[in-house]
Amino acid sequence: MKSYLAAAIQMTSKPNLEKNLVEAEELIELAVRKGAELVSLPENFAFLGKEVDKVAQAKEIAVKTEQFLKKMAQRFQITILGGGFPVPVADNPTKAYNTAILVTPDGQEVAHYQKVHLFDVDVPDGNTYQESSTVMAGKEIPPIYNSERLGKLGLSICYDVRFPEFYRYLSGKGADVLFIPAAFTAYTGKDHWQVLLQARAIENTCYVIAPAQTGNHYERRYTHGHAMIIDPWGVILADAGSTPGVAVAEINPHRLQQVRQQMPSLQHRVFV
């Protein structure tokens, strides 16, 4: 593993698959022009609309999104994370898996994760989210993808960030970099997003790459933004702010080693 640049993309996705993919391609190209070799897209990057519409279009979204990710990886010769899109459940037409995939420059899917923690929450701003009404929970934590060039990569999606045991498992399996793509609500994000990302980075001495949604998507659906890349000490290396764009920062194995030597907490665990 050598130093390289990673990108966390920030979008304001809408209930329009084709327009979202066009915007995603523009932002991927921007990230590549900035030198990124590892590019990540947020949760719901291909479609962010009403749950009933998402399920109705899940098959089309899944097929076109997978094709898109493989095309982008090959065209730009990058490794790319599609941070969460619906994939139909074969035996249940009313639900889909919230799925993240990692694709290498040869167009091969090398890691696959179905979101296990579903966001069923009454937020104090008056909005109610019931992800389980249309999403089937996954049952497995994904294996670590070990890239000689990019390090050991661990996948997660949004609400997972509130479950530290999930990331402890990933770091215990050797993860150097943790992906946390999200569509974090505007209300909770202002208080919790940054501190949760920093906590996951610090406690696991890992880099965190967190692409995000931002702004108004439809009706009362607002997200927080602030796609970030954070180093193993908890330092924010890049922050995309509150508008669509790209956060780019260096992933440095020497910094990773330095922090783990200075703060060897992973070696000091008593309860594993």
pLDDT tens-place string over residues 242-262? 999 999 999 999 999 999 999
Assess whether pLDDT exceeds 80 at residue 91.
yes
What's the whole-number mean pLDDT along residues 189-211? 98
Retrieve residue 95's tokens: 């639900």
For 127-258, list the strands marked E by DSSP.
128-130, 145-147, 151-154, 177-179, 207-210, 212-218, 221-224, 228-230, 236-239, 245-251
pLDDT tens-place string over residues 112-127? 999 999 999 998 887 8
Assess whether pLDDT exceeds 80 at residue 178.
yes
pLDDT of residue 271: 83
Nearest to 15 by CA among 41, 52, 70: 52
Residues annotated as catalytic (active site), given as ranges: 43, 115, 158
Domains in the chain (CATH in brackets) are 4-264 (3.60.110.10)
CA angle at residue 208 from 202 to 213, to 5 degrees? 130
